[in-house]
Amino acid sequence: MNQNKQFLPQVSVIVPIYNGEEDLPDLISCIKNQTYPKDKVEYLLVNNNSQDTTSKILNQATLEAQKIGINLQELNENNIQSSYAARNQGIRQAKGEILAFTDADCRPLNNWLEELVKPFVDEKIGIVVGEIDALPGNSFLEKYAERNSVLSQKFLLEHPFLPYGQTANLAIRSTIFKNIGLFRPYLTTGGDADICWRIQQQTDYKLTFTPNGIIRHRHRSNFKELKSQWQRYGRSNLYLHELYGVDLMRDFTTKEAIYRCARWLLKEIPRDSIKILQGKAIPLDLIKMPIDLFNFHARSQGQKTAKLSEKAKEIDWL
């Protein structure tokens, strides 16, 4: 008999939401299509001071979910404008043995929760990281991100300090929060690494990766959004440097930019052009380097301008 099929713990899915009117209909549709038993899961959607029609959508969704036996609840976090504070509100209200996290702009596959929970059959596992794939996009930036698996959790599992997973697709045993505390509510980025690292440093629980627990995420479609994304990554690294002493990322320099542009023009474009003719590459590969360089510059800017406040170091407790 397959042991995993008998392992069906109570699960709480926690989703922080800020101005989610465009994303919520698709997310709620994904929730309704989950294969995990309806009586074993609650979906806690935490409205974090949204100024659009989020609350109206959640009210209607709650009523519709009840009619088909799905436990979907709207919670509110009105005191602190932060996705981590919103997640903490969900943790406080959660009844599940396993807490699963995702975001409003994510699209879980139908078997996401079922696959994400399976590894917890091993009592030594405290954190499960699922995979993040790309939603199909139309812009060349979205296609670049998809081709290069920009959001794949595999890269985070190779972090030189300790592995971690993004809260877009992460599950944690609920009892752990009683011992190590909740998310840092005033932290604006990097909280996913922080919670995973605190668990690994302060408990004996292990982290594992499940490639079949998949959510799909929309990539950035323009340079303004892309710049903001990579600046946030830079700020996150500075915060984690302050909290844990992890190495800072190297600075963007004009000298390196000139060198990489020259290498791109003289070596990479001729090489990739031949590969395209051979059917081993696509035209999009020709512009990978300048996009990479744009991201590198934005990340460097974010790291240089970031400052971790004393308040952001605070940890919430149950």
Task: Please compute the mean of the pLDDT values over residues 286-300 and round it to a whole number.
Answer: 95
Task: Please compute the mean of the pLDDT values over residues 224-235 and round it to a whole number.
Answer: 95
Whole-number pLDDT of residue 215: 97
Average model confidence (pLDDT) for the chain? 95
Angle at 9 between CA 5 and CA 13, to 5 degrees: 115
Task: Please compute the mean of the pLDDT values over residues 268-290 and round it to a whole number.
Answer: 94
Task: Please compute the mean of the pLDDT values over residues 94-118 and round it to a whole number.
Answer: 97
Task: Please compute the mean of the pLDDT values over residues 163-186 and round it to a whole number.
Answer: 97
Give the CA-trace dihedral at 297, 302, 305, 311, to 10 degrees: -170
Task: Please compute the mean of the pLDDT values over residues 2-19 and round it to a whole number.
Answer: 86
Q: What superfamily would CATH give domain 3-221? A: Spore Coat Polysaccharide Biosynthesis Protein SpsA; Chain A (3.90.550.10)
Domain with CATH 3.90.550.10 in the chain: 3-221
Task: Please compute the mean of the pLDDT values over residues 70-81 and round it to a whole number.
Answer: 96
Confidence of residue 225 (pLDDT cuts 50, 70, 90): very high
Its pTM stands at 0.92
Q: Using a pLDDT cut of 70, give the percent of the chain over it.
A: 98
